[in-house]
Structure 1
Amino acid sequence: MQTAEPEVVATLYDSPEGQFGPTLFGGHLHWGYWDAETAGASFAAAADRLAEIMIERIRIGPGQRFVDLGCGVGQPAAKLARATGCQVDGITISGSQQRAATAMAEAEGLQDRLRFFHGSALEIPAEDASYDGGWFFESIFHMGHRAALLEAARVLKPGATLLLTDLPTLPTTSDEFRDFVQEHIHSVFVAKEDYPALMAEAGFELVEIEDISENVMPWLVPKLTEALEEHRGTLVEMFGEETEKMIENWIFLFEYMSENLGYMVVTARKK
């Protein structure tokens, strides 16, 4: 299967449905992390927690440079900059996301440490070995894993940490599902077992793969349903009489993904 052209992915996130995502997820554009202690957490709170988990795994500090590959509207990048004092460059294929992220950075007084670019993470506007760390935060499956990792390796310094979240296929993942997500959300997923070869080919040492499927996948549909109900008024304002169909589509997609994919955090080091 071939990955979609970047411009096609941009249409997904520039659409009204794509722009509604941060409203559901508390300013984030990724899923969340739940456990027994946080079972009552909203989707937004759990998304924030997952960003914190990612930040805990990054070795970066003041004066160092970090690249967010597929940065969305910039909320994780802002949390990282505040927590560590590093400078973050984010890149997104979505023009609406880049504008929203830039406005957020200015509103929060972080424009000196955050820059957001409209472009492809397969063609990063940076010289070789520019960054001390980077991540793909629920984004690499839109790009093609091999090409994305090779470009990340180009711009990262030797010894830099690369962190990513990904949704690995399962032994039970169906061909029908693969075709569906490629057509409708322009994504191609790979198996966890593919990662050692992918990382080695791109010039990374694979440090760890942490499977957190049980903290993500079973929670998706009930937490999404709660979030959709909480924001029903906004949905009606945006989609009018199409609201119920929109809700059905979101729930169907999350059900389908939770049945066919896992969730993992991958840590690697540039050789």
Structure 2
Amino acid sequence: MTNELSAAREVIVMSVNDAAVASCDDVVRAYTEIAPLALRYWGPELHYGFWEDAHDTSPIEVAVARLTAIVIERLRVGAGGHVLDLGCGYGRPAVEVARTTGARVTAVDVDPGAVAAAAEHAHRAGLADLVRVARCDGDDLPFPENSFDAVLSFESTPHFEIGELYPRIRRMLRPGGRLVVETPVFRETVTPELQKRVADFFDLLRIRSFETTETHHETARRSGLEIVETVDITRHVDGSFTRLAQRLRRHEDELAADYGAAEAGRLIDLFADWGRVAEIGAMIMVARRAPEDAGEGRGEAEEARNRA
């Protein structure tokens, strides 16, 4: 890396609330373990791919970019807007938001390696003036009320308690601002047997909260957000982990060199097993802070009315 690029990256990357960041060390360690695998065999956009139908033979990279575009379109922002990318990973969606809409983007993640890579990507794309990258804990976001026109979350909500996250997001949104969440969900009530089947994968990624679509809706509404749109994308994305596992098996010798034969086999089996869990789906949820929402307290007042 050149000195120029290193200096630029130091300017872009901010450190926010290091004490809170430390509380998420488990998540950082989890992604540090699988990041080399994901980058090499999936790509730098760490979310599902979107295939139109069973006859769509698009490679993983094309399908992933397609889902990025589908989600970004729902932000409804333009030049002059300000977007928060919550759990930005390696920064590809954040940079794409800036490139396609002209909006400013604040991209946050707890993983320092991801933050550095995201800042570097923004610089190389010539969009460092629009994309600012911060290392901070999503449980302690430092942004004041009315900071953003939209908040974006690609598969990051499982790392939060959404009952705490959605009120924070409502507060940070400007009146009329939109939240766009793309996330895996349970398609039915969780049983002890289902919990057992997904436990290893949840442990691998340090998942804290994995909910049904209905729970996301209810929690968002209690937080003072209005549901605008929900799209069930399960049939379009459910081949993602099956395709990843197939790609990994073709490179199992390389994985064994990096992780050891036993661990490589375990990781491949985990991804393959996750792809076979029929009770797991995926959705895009669009919610908004009401245009007439005057400020703090609306979510609490609405919750009180609901309890009455």
Q: TM-score, normalised by structure 1?
A: 0.88
Task: Give per-residue Cα distances to partners, 1:125-169, cap 9 Å, x unaligned.
Answer: 321110010111111011111112122112111100100012111
- What's 1:186 paired with? 206
Please give the secondary structure, in 1, of the residue aligned with 2:218. Answer: helix
Task: Give per-residue Cα distances to partners, 1:194-249, cap 9 Å, x unaligned.
Answer: 122201121100112111101111x1244213433676686466x06x25742541
1:202 equivalent to 2:262? Answer no
CA distance in 2, matches of 1:111, 1:134: 19
- What's 1:101 paired with? 118
Please give the secondary structure, in 1, of the residue aligned with 2:244. Answer: helix
- The residue correspondences of 1:51-70 to structure 2 (distance < 5 A) are 51-70=68-87
- What's 1:18 paired with? 35
- What's 2:281 paired with? 262
Could you say if the C-alpha distance between residues 148 and 258 of structure 1 is closer, same or farther in structure 2, counting changes exceeding 3 Å?
farther
Bigger CA radius of gyration:
2
Structure 2 counterpart of 1:50, one-letter code: L
CA distance in 1, matches of 2:251, 2:289: 42
Unpaired runs of 5+ residues, structure 1, are none
Please give the secondary structure, in 2, of the residue aligned with 1:167. Answer: strand
Please give the secondary structure, in 1, of the residue aligned with 2:144. Answer: coil
1:111 equivalent to 2:114? Answer no
| Contact 1:220-1:258 at 8 Å conserved across structures | no
- What's 1:249 paired with? 267
Could you say if the C-alpha distance between residues 233 and 64 of structure 1 is closer, same or farther in structure 2, counting changes exceeding 3 Å?
farther
- What's 1:214 paired with? 235
Query: Which of the numbers 225, 240, 245 marks the counterpart of 1:225?
Result: 245
Q: For the aligned residues, what is the CA RMSD?
A: 2.2
| Contact 1:221-1:251 at 8 Å conserved across structures | no
CA distance in 1, matches of 2:251, 2:150: 36
Structure 2 counterpart of 1:35, one-letter code: E
Q: TM-score, normalised by structure 2?
A: 0.78
Structure 2 counterpart of 1:8, one-letter code: D
Task: Give per-residue Cα distances to partners, 1:162-194, cap 9 Å, x unaligned.
Answer: 000121113375121354344332112111121
Deviation at 1:28, TM superposition (A): 0.3
CA distance in 2, matches of 1:98, 1:75: 11
Could you say if the C-alpha distance between residues 244 and 45 of structure 1 is closer, same or farther in structure 2, counting changes exceeding 3 Å?
farther
Structure 2 counterpart of 1:263, one-letter code: A
Please give the secondary structure, in 1, of the residue aligned with 2:230. Answer: strand
Task: Give per-residue Cα distances to partners, 1:15-61, cap 9 Å, x unaligned.
Answer: 3x224313333320111101238721121211111101111211100
Please give the secondary structure, in 2, of the residue aligned with 1:116. Answer: strand
**Percent identity (aligned):** 25
Unpaired runs of 5+ residues, structure 2, are 1-22, 291-308
Could you say if the C-alpha distance between residues 38 and 88 of structure 1 is closer, same or farther in structure 2, counting changes exceeding 3 Å?
farther
Structure 1 counterpart of 2:229, one-letter code: E
Task: Give per-residue Cα distances to partners, 1:93-147, cap 9 Å, x unaligned.
Answer: 1010001101111111111011111111122232111001011111101111111
- The residue correspondences of 1:77-96 to structure 2 (distance < 5 A) are 77-96=94-113
